[in-house]
Chain A
Amino acid sequence: MRFVSFRPATSVLAITALLLIVTAPSQAQTRAETLRYVTGASVNTLDPNIPGSTRESFALSMSTYDRLVAFGRKQLNGKWVFDLDTITGELAESYEVSPDGLKLTFRLRKDAKFQDGSPVTAEDVKWSLDRCVTAPILGKAQLLTGSLTSADQFKVIDPLTIEVTLPKPDKLALPNLATVYPMIINSKVAKEHATADDPWATAWLKEHTAGSGAYVVESFKPGEQVIVKRNEDWNRGSANKPAFFKRIIVQSVPEPATRANLVERGDADLVLDLQASDVQSLEAKGKLKVVSTPQYNAITYVSMNNQIPPFDNVNVRRAIAFALPYDDMFKAALFGRGSPLFGATWADGKPANGIYPFQQPVKLDLDKAREYLKAAGLPEGFSTTFSFNVGQASTAEPMAALVKESLGKIGIKVDIQKLPDAQMSTQINEKKLPFYTEGIVAWLPSTDYFYRNFYTGNQRWNYSSINNPELAAIAQEARFEPDKAKYEEAGRKLNAMHFDLMPQIMLWQPNQDAVMAPSIEGYTYEFHRQVDYRDVSRK
């Protein structure tokens, strides 16, 4: 009897002892082989195609999935940036563009395997591309810009060859296949999780991956952190070997000051979204590596709604363009960290080249601004509101104050309006804001693409709501212009029109400041403006 009554106590002891042995601290991973990346944003889906997915989700998918092709990289002022003009194979071993530009043929790598070990076949490629243009997902609108709209355009020739046909020789078709969305999914696995309502397995792929990428998702906590480990079989990198880091931790740290502390103390290896002031002081201390790349596919504007009076008058817009204190704004908002798009001198009054964005010949000149206001019939000025969103307050707030002060000098009374992000995007979409600052980004920055997407149509990204048939026609024609000289000519014409009509004012291209431990190498500015974890390594 005595033994019986003792048993619970002894078994508790035994179990505790056992637990202590089993849960002995797991061996610490070698810190040097791990990349800890901290960010203010977060990954919210493993499939970047899901509406609402964040930029961090885009970046993660670049490492968990492969595409047919990838952008190369080039040096721009000594910094590595993605190169739109060099397209190399990723899952494709080689590709051919037919002489008429209507057929793209991709030959797949024979050794490419999905993360579950099954080979990557042309069937998988077709299923993935079909999904991109058919399913109600983000890829659809993106591929549309490369004339890829229907599943009929993708044809399996043999298990390792796939052919893409185009209705027109579209320059952007091939680059589009290197963007985030047309990732190649293991169709066998995905189909197993497809349902009648969801034939493209969007619900399942949101929380699982089935790719062939360089990294395998180990744990995914939406809004907190993602941990991925290296796919040892991946060989799509430049030197035919797996990615450098064994493990990558993508962690959300909402407070920018904390992110700065983390990287300065060496607890984090890489961070992109620090406040400009922190970057400056970290750079001055010289302990860390700071790579500042002008985001050459992004632009910050001061936009005016060309349909709302008084901004429907071109002279009012010109007056504003000459009344902004550009230099002070550039210093106050960005601490001068970026490429200015103002202050050019056009010797013959014509744009220097046909590339958009370009530096406009505008500068602070209050007398000129007053003349333009007089020409517009508003010598006494007027009142308006200037809006920006809370998410950009750190740069937009000082800027707004300077705009208000300077425009006050020519009689324009400005009320500053700070809007929550969702409210701002709604009002922009509904074309209700007269005067505001916003930014844009284009994944495939070519002149015609910018003009077609940001200066035409009654749609959200046409911030200035400009409706100029001539400009729209030139941009549309340039899209399919094979002759480089003629394309350049069209670009010059568009840029000249931009300065003449002044639909909105290009301010600058902000730098992206990547702050990293001195041992980190290979960081490249990518089109999605995030880190491609496959690029980086440690000395």
Chain B
Amino acid sequence: MTGLGATLVRAGRRLLSSLPALFGVLVFTFLLMRVLPGDPAVFFASGPNAGKEEIELIRKQMGLDRSVLEQLVFYLSDISHGNLGRSMMTGQPVLKDLRERLPASLELTFTALLIALIAAVPLGVIAALRPGSVIDHGVRLFCALGVCVPTFVSGLLLIYVFYYLLGLAPDPTGRIDVFTSLPPQRTGFLSIDFLLAGDLEGWWTACRQLILPAVSMALFVIAPLARITRASMLVSLGSDFVRTARSVGLSWRKVVVTYALRNAILPVITIAGIVFSTMLGANVLVEKVFSWPGVASYALDALLSSDYAPVQGFVLLMASLFVLVNLVVDICYGIADPRVSIE
């Protein structure tokens, strides 16, 4: 069997073995939502005249008049038909909402992660090359600042400086300027859709909207990535093979990048995977501050109003993504270090 084929088979097996976990998450979230205090029917029947009748009506619409077990059976059978239920908040099917919002979150998270990696890996490497120097302390200070400023604070600060004071950034309201027309939807990633449509001006507007939220998210995750790069670079720089490489007079580039960094990158990939999954769910504050129509702010609004279906759909989505990301991380291991097998 070829290497690629073997990897795919292993990946498939890995995916299958995660199904029970997904099912568990599904049932757990379902029950948790019902245990939480707060009756969604009462909340949504808040018109100035909504009385008992309206509350009963909504309860029936949401299926809350049945027993929890019955609800669970209906819910599972709906899911097997690809139906995640309907959101009371937006009035739309949850699947449609998630499908529209997930690309927004993914685009933001990918961009933020990319910015973070581009900034963090060199920072970590530089810090490791000169441990204890001014540069090392500078990197440490920068990381500490990034971590201790919450994302919504850095987001608001960036808006204040770049939008309010300098007027350089576009208004922080969503993925695109309200006056720009959208490209035909293909991937849902605006920066890609605009390119596919050949609309460079639109592409630039979309990118401008993306920069501030992505940077404020990236600031927060640069620290773990840079610190882990530094630590593992230190180990690998101090190891025998690097000493040997140096002693035989290999170029600086070859020693640092090819031998030391490649060996040091494994933990960085692991952390990047974890950071990515966390960012996707935890970027709710950034999404709120920049009015970004993503899944996390959607789920938070749903949770506050006890809107069951979207919360359940969101958790299921996140669990599935987590499984996928872990898989990708494992495959990346194989590429970075062929000695690692994902068995």
A28 with B179, Cβ < 8 A, contacts A254-B291, A443-B48 known: yes
Known: A51-B54, A136-B57, A422-B306. A224 touches B174 (CB 8 A): yes
Select one of A19, A26, A420 contacting B304, CB under 8 A.
Answer: A420
Whether the Cβ atoms of A422 and B178 lie closer than 8 Å is: no
Complex: how many Å from CA A315 to CA B314? 50
The 8 A CB mask of A400-429 against B (1 = contact, 0 = none) is 000000000000000000001111011101
The reply to whether the CB of A142 lies closer than 8 angstroms to some CB of chain B is yes
B332 at the interface (CB under 8 A from A): no
Is B31 part of the contact surface with A, judged by Cβ < 8 Å?
no
User: Which segment, of A258-266, A319-327, A484-492, faces chain B?
Assistant: A258-266
* Chain A nearest Cβ from B198, distance in angstroms: 4
B50 in the interface, Cβ–Cβ < 8 Å? Answer: yes
Smallest distance from the beta carbon of A198 to chain B beta carbons, Å?
12
| In the complex with contacts A45-B91, A51-B45, A421-B304 CB distance below 8 A | yes
How distant is A249 from chain B, measured CB to nearest CB, in Å?
5
Complex Cα spacing A53 to B61, Å: 14
Find the A residue at minimum CB distance from B184. A23
CB distance from A520 to the nearest CB of B (A): 17
State A251–B174 Cα separation when bound (angstroms).
Answer: 10
Are A253 and B291 also in contact (CB < 8 A) when A222-B92, A422-B43 are? yes
A529 → B minimal CB distance (Å): 10
Contact status A138-B49, CB under 8 Å: yes
Q: Are B58 and A258 in contact (CB under 8 A)?
A: no
Q: Is residue A194 within 8 Å, beta carbon to beta carbon, of the partner chain?
A: no
Q: Is A16 an interface residue (CB 8 A)?
A: yes
Q: Give the contacting residue for A38; candidates B47, B173, B201; CB below 8 A.
A: B173
In contact, B53 and A261 (Cβ under 8 angstroms): no
Among B42, B90, B173, the residue within 8 A (CB) of A251 is: B173
List of B residues within 8 angstroms of A258 by Cβ: 159, 172-173, 289-291
Can you list, as one digit per residue, whether each of A135-151 has a CB less than 8 Å from chain B (1) or not (0)? 01010111011000000
Contact partner of A253 (CB less than 8 A), chosen from B51, B55, B61, B173, is B173
Main secondary structure of the interface of A (DSSP, over half): mixed
Determine the distance from Cα of A442 to Cα of B298 in the docked complex, in whole angstroms.
30
A482 within 8 A of B: no
- Inter-chain CA distance A268–B163, complex, in Å, is 14
Q: Is the CB of A422 within 8 A of B198?
A: no
Contacts of B160 in A (CB 8 A): 261
Residue of B nearest to A136 (CB): B57
Q: At the interface, yes or no: B247 with Cβ under 8 Å from chain A?
A: no
- The chain B residues found within 8 Å of chain A, CB to CB, are 36-40, 42-55, 57-58, 61, 88-92, 97, 100, 156, 159-160, 163-164, 167, 171-174, 178-181, 183, 197-199, 201-202, 288-291, 293, 297-298, 301, 304-306
Question: Are A262 and B38 in contact (CB-based, < 8 A)?
Answer: no
14 contacts between A and B (CB under 8 A): A42-B90, A138-B47, A222-B90, A223-B90, A224-B174, A253-B173, A255-B156, A261-B164, A265-B164, A268-B171, A420-B38, A422-B304, A423-B37, A460-B42
A75 within 8 A of B: no
The chain B residue sitting closest to A444, CB to CB, is B48
User: Provided the pairs A223-B90, A426-B39 are in contact, do residues A267 and B53 lie with their beta carbons within 8 angstroms?
Assistant: no
The answer on a CB contact under 8 Å between B202 and A25 is: yes
Cα–Cα distance between A141 and B46 once the two chains are bound (Å): 12
Residue among A19, A45, A255, A429 making CB contact with B288, cutoff 8 Å: A255
- Bound together, the chains give a CA A23 to CA B40 distance in angstroms of 45
How far is A442 from B48 in the complex, measured between Cα atoms in Å?
6
On chain B, the residues within 8 Å of A136 by CB distance are 57
Residues of chain A with a CB closer than 8 A to B47's CB: 51, 53, 138, 141-142
Asked if A67 is at the interface (CB within 8 A of a chain B CB), the reply is: no
Residues of A within 8 A of B164 (CB): 261, 264-265
Task: Say which residue of B36, B45, B198 sits within 8 Å of A52 (CB atoms).
Answer: B45
* Given A262-B173, A422-B42, A429-B55, A255 and B289 contact (CB-CB distance below 8 Å): yes
In the assembled complex, how far is the CB of residue A176 from the closest CB belonging to chain B, in whole angstroms?
A: 10
Q: Which residues of chain A are near B37, meaning CB under 8 Å?
A: 423, 426-427
Q: Are A23 and B39 in contact (CB under 8 A)?
A: no
Is the Cβ of A422 less than 8 Å from the Cβ of B305? yes
Q: State whether the Cβ of A84 lies closer than 8 Å to any Cβ in chain B.
A: no
Whether A74 sits at the interface, judged by CB under 8 Å, is no
Q: In the complex, A429→B37 CA distance in Å?
A: 13
Q: What distance in Å separates the Cβ of A526 from its nearest Cβ neighbour in chain B?
A: 13
Within the complex, what minimum Cβ distance (angstroms) separates A266 from chain B? Answer: 10
A251 neighbours in B (Cβ, 8 Å): 173-174, 178, 291
Least CB distance, A106 to chain B, in whole angstroms: 23
Is B42 a contact of A52 with CB atoms below 8 Å? no
Contacts of A265 in B (CB 8 A): 163-164, 167, 171
Contact A249 B178 (CB under 8 A): yes
Alpha-carbon distance A26/B202, docked complex (angstroms) = 11
Contact in complex: B201, A44 (CB < 8 Å)? no
B91–A44 CB distance below 8 A: yes
A423 to B304, CA, bound (A): 9
Known interface pairs A26-B181, A258-B289, A426-B37. Does A141 touch B173 (Cβ–Cβ under 8 Å)? no
